[in-house]
């Protein structure tokens, strides 16, 4: 009998409470673009990122912390906030040493849900930090939930592909009896050589490419360009 820890993949925040998350590591995945932006801003020296679920909270925390306020709804910068949810906005010269207060559509919500569900650790993942994430998951030897943020609770391809990429790298270390994980792994295996072409078929691509964000989306599926691991601790996302 195997004593390896278990790994499950959830395809929508709506499905999180089906699983026992207690004492597990939950990986928040929002490839387009929250968790790509989070990795990038921290990689480039942001002192911390405060993820919030409402615009009002974002503006208020921007005032009290002196942080930069940023966020998007439906792919567009929100009135009253200073910046958007594009990793390209957060260069080192701009973000180093600063606090970023970030509100996003899907990723932030799942981050808060994961914490409330009793996870022992909440981290974020996307292609720009895939190696740092996988190295951590292998060494911890704990149960894992790969949590796809989806789009307004609807299944999306890009978060699934990332889950599949992670599973392909770490599966030898885990017990996996989970059809979502099996599907994700196979979808990534099918497309790892044409991922920048394939993401052009996703609904999210059509939504965001209308705003001229093609280069952003290609960045978000490029491995290890911001290879640090964000941990969610005491309300902040920080590097360990």
Do you find a cis peptide bond into 21, omega within 30 degrees of 0?
no
Q: Which residues make beta-bridge pairs with 236?
A: 233
Positions in the binding site for a copy of itself (CB under 8 A): 11-12, 14-15, 18, 152-157, 160, 177-180, 182-183, 186-187, 190, 201-204, 206
- Closest distance to a copy of itself from the beta carbon of 182 (Å): 6
Q: Which residue's structure tokens are 């920048």?
A: 196
* Three-class SS state of 223: coil
Q: Which is nearer to a copy of itself, 8 or 48 (CB)?
A: 8
Q: In whole angstroms, what is the distance from residue 83 CA to residue 76 CA? A: 10
Q: Which is nearer to a copy of itself, 173 or 207 (CB)?
A: 207
- Closest distance to a copy of itself from the beta carbon of 150 (Å): 9
How far from chain centre, in Å, is Cα 113?
14
Q: Which is nearer to a copy of itself, 27 or 81 (CB)?
A: 27
Positive or negative torsion for Cα 234, 57, 159, 11: positive
- Closest distance to a copy of itself from the beta carbon of 120 (Å): 22
Q: Which is nearer to a copy of itself, 104 or 156 (CB)?
A: 156
- Closest distance to a copy of itself from the beta carbon of 32 (Å): 11
Please give the angle made by the CA atoms of 129, 220 and 51, to the nearest 5 degrees.
70
């Amino acid at each position: 009998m195997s004593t390896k820890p278990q790994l499950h993949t959830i395809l929508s925040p709506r499905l999180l409470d089906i699983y026992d998350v207690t004492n597990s590591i939950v990986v928040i995945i929002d490839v387009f673009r929250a968790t790509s932006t989070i990795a990038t801003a921290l990689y480039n020296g942001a002192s911390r990122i405060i993820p919030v679920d409402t615009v009002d909270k974002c503006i208020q925390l921007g005032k009290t912390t002196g942080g930069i306020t940023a966020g998007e709804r439906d792919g567009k910068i929100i009135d009253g906030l200073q910046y958007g949810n594009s990793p390209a906005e957060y260069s080192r010269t701009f973000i180093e040493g600063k606090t970023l207060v970030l509100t996003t559509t899907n990723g932030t919500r799942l981050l808060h849900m994961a914490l409330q569900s009793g996870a022992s650790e909440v981290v974020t993942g996307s292609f720009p930090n895939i190696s740092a994430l996988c190295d951590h998951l292998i060494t911890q030897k704990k149960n894992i939930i790969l949590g796809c943020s989806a789009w307004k609770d609807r299944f999306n391809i890009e978060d699934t592909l990332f889950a599949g990429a992670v599973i392909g790298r770490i599966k030898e270390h885990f017990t996996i009896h989970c059809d979502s994980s099996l599907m994700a792994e196979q979808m990534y295996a099918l497309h790892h050589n044409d991922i920048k072409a394939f993401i052009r078929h996703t609904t999210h691509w059509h939504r965001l490419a209308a705003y001229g964000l093609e280069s952003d989306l290609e960045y978000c599926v490029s491995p290890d360009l911001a290879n640090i691991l964000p941990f969610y601790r005491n309300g902040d996302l920080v590097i360990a």
